[in-house]
């Protein structure tokens, strides 16, 4: 191992824009259980599966149809 390294000619990481950011999100236990079961079936971590699902929703501009009912 060298004592010093020269990074003056180094290149920026071309994948830096695709790096993940850690966030805290509150999900219902049933939702987590659903994705854990599904992740076990397909053989990938459940957090990766949730990320893939959300990325697909964002890529296809999928919108949730919400309808609020007023109480009389």
* Cα-to-chain-centroid distance, residue 9: 33
14 within domain boundaries: no
Q: Is 37 a member of any domain? A: yes
Instruction: Confirm whether 65 is domain-assigned.
Output: no
The predicted pLDDT at position 35 comes to 97
- Domain, as residue range, for 32: 24-59
Tokens 């009389």 correspond to what residue?
A: 72
> Residue 60: what pLDDT?
96
Tally of domains within the chain:
1
In a domain, 71, yes or no: no
The pLDDT of residue 12: 85
**Per-residue confidence (pLDDT) for residue 72, from 0 to 100:** 73
Whether residue 54 lies inside any domain: the answer is yes
Mean pLDDT of successive 10-residue stretches along the chain, which has 72 residues: 89 82 94 97 96 95 90 78
Q: How many CA atoms lie within 13 A of 53 on its CB side?
A: 12
């Amino acid at each position: 191992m060298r004592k010093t390294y020269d990074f003056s000619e180094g290149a920026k990481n071309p994948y830096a824009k695709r790096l993940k950011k850690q966030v805290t999100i509150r999900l219902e236990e049933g939702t987590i259980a659903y994705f854990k079961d599904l992740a076990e079936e397909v053989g990938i971590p459940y957090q990766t599966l949730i990320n893939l699902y959300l990325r697909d929703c964002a890529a296809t501009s999928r919108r949730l149809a919400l309808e609020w009912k007023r109480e009389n």
